[in-house]
Amino acid sequence: MTKHFQNEILRLKKKILHVAAMVEESLQRAVAAITGSDGELAKEVIGADPDIDIEEIEVEEECLKILALHQPVAIDLRYVIAVLKINSDLERIADLAVNIAERAVTLAGFDRTPVPFDLDEMLDMTMKMVRDSVDALVSSDTAKAHHVCLFDDEIDGRHERAFKIIKDKIKSQPDLTEYYVCLLSVSTYLERIADHATNIAEDVVYMIEGEIVRHQL
């Protein structure tokens, strides 16, 4: 590996970790906007999304440049491919954080009404999945990556239960239909974020071990 190529890889690592930090912060703020009924904080999350998009494009361009100029092989090739895929998943998590923030703006306009399902636990679990998948990337920790994947089914199950509960609530309280639909949307977004966190964890395993574990865990 040439010194120039080493520097390119190091710069790429710094860029993807910067994107990951921005996305994690965006999701944390969106979650805080939901739990705190903070419409202004939610609007800040929405307004910051273009900055993440710019960083995501720069990472993609860096990956393509490395592939074109250096034609890496073996673990270096896996690393660049994994970063490309992880970058895409991070961008989608950021978009879903914006979706959650948009729902937070709507929900903040309602009087305090009890949430009929375990939203706080879903928020905490999903945040942990994202945080741990990024930590696995930073530390090249396949054990932590595998652990993230184990939580995906749990989030899926909680979302299915939320759907059933919300359906019954809309029938019994049709005047709160918009409120309950917003809550269900948040649950849906969390389920999708968990999927993307799982994708990141699986790509960390691929990057380090060269094994494609998608559909196996």
The domain at 3-209 falls in which architecture? Answer: Up-down Bundle (1.20)
Domain edges within the chain: 3-209
pTM over 0.85: yes
211 has a pLDDT exceeding 90: no
Q: Is the dihedral of CA 166, 101, 60, 4 positive or negative?
A: negative
The pLDDT value given to residue 112: 77
Mean pLDDT value across the chain: 93
CA 61 to chain centroid, in Å, comes to 21
**pLDDT for 210:** 81
Whether 136 and 144 have beta carbons less than 8 Å apart is answered as yes
The model's confidence at residue 39, banded by pLDDT at 50, 70 and 90, is very high
Q: How far is CA 53 from CA 57, 67, 115, in A?
A: 6, 21, 32
pLDDT digits (tens, 9 = 90+) for 140-187: 999 999 999 999 999 999 999 999 999 999 999 999 999 999 999 999
pLDDT tens readout for residues 66-102: 999 998 888 899 999 999 999 999 999 999 999 999 9
Q: Can you give the pLDDT at residue 215?
A: 54
166 contact partners, CB below 8 Å, separation of at least 6: 116, 117, 180, 181, 183, 184, 187
